[in-house]
Amino acid sequence: MVITVTGGAGFIGSNFIFHMMKKYPDYRIICLDKLTYAGNLSTLDAVKDNKNFRFVKADICDREAVYKLFEEEKPDILVNFAAESHVDRSIENPDVFLQTNIMGTAVLADACRKYGIKRYHQVSTDEVYGDLPLDRPDLLFTEKTPIHASSPYSSSKAAADLLVLAYNRTYQLPVTVSRCSNNYGPYQFPEKLIPLMIANALNDKPLPVYGEGINVRDWLYVEDHCTAVDLVIHKGRVGEVYNIGGHNEMRNIDIVKLICKELGKSESLIKYVEDRKGHDMRYAIDPTKIHDELGWLPETKFEDGIKKTIGWYLENKTWWETIISGEYRSYYNKMYGSKC
């Protein structure tokens, strides 16, 4: 089996590669990644010398490069993790999100049509559903929840989902789509909430929290997500969407306070900043479908996963300190510098 993983040098993509190479040592795994600011080749050091692994630096929008890879490797499955994914950046510069998340998906789908594929899997997000009210804990996103995206990021992902599903109906391309809740765990780029708070707290720097910090997210440990995607690409029904949720709803401010407690840092580091434009209030996924059809349930409780995550960042300071000393620093100063 040959599997191409796009965006495999990023957070979830790299964890998926580790999962697949450990579980299926006979599979050939091809990682295609543009290596933007969020892609880090050193993340893949543990597998780079494996005979069944190949890294290709390319942009999924580059049709010639993508087609060349398909001609060379003839993948059986393509899993598309490649995406611009940070909401704040999408508000600052929507264009790159439209290019990568929509046009890049179109190039990949066309390549799968042209060269044949057993499965094209599109990794998406619960953010395509918009948000839920804080005072209705009974409401959850299901696969039948109407798409109601709030940001340029989530709109671009919703468009990609619809495009992939249209390729299934129009061209009979064998596709599946998964929509996950907020992931956390090792190798997450430190612009996202949890690694940002860990890194700042360790350096005794302000912990910027949007608004009152009451926004709720459903947190999914990245290894549980990888297990779910593995099941979908092997056993999921073609043309179907599967929601992947963690059953771990937490307010942003409570997560930040928990990180302070785990690291022995004062909550005085917390600084409330002007709220994000169009900030969704609550995400919550109902994963009944993937459980009933494929037997998947999240295994990691948040209190366990956050301890493992904090431990990883403590043990791998070189990895994230190298990142925050580079291009990310200027972006961080632009977004939060004057607010803290």
> What residues are labeled active site?
126-127, 153
Lay out the sheet containing 77-80: strands in order across.
53-57, 28-33, 2-6, 77-80, 119-125, 175-180, 241-244
CA–CA dist 222, 329 (Å, integer): 25
CA–CA dist 79, 246 (Å, integer): 21
Helix count and strand count (H, E) for the chain: 13, 12
- Residue 167 dihedral angles phi and psi, to the nearest 5°: -65, -30
Non-local CB neighbours of 116 within 8 Å, separated by 6+ positions: none
H-helix or E-strand containing 5? Answer: strand 2-6
For 149-221, where are the alpha helices, taking DSSP H only? 152-171, 193-202
How many Cα atoms within 13 Å fall on the side-chain side of residue 236? 29
Considering all CA atoms of the chain, what is the largest pairwise distance in Å, rounded to the nearest integer? 57
Report, in angstroms and rounded to the nearest whole number, the Rg of the chain calculated over CA atoms.
19
String of b and e for 78-107 (b: at least 16 CB within 10 Å)?
A: bbbbbbbbbbbbbbeebeebbebbbbbbbb
Q: For residues 225 and 12, is the Cβ–Cβ distance under 8 A?
A: yes
User: Cα–Cα distances in Å, from 199 out to 10, 36, 157, 191, 331?
Assistant: 18, 21, 28, 10, 15
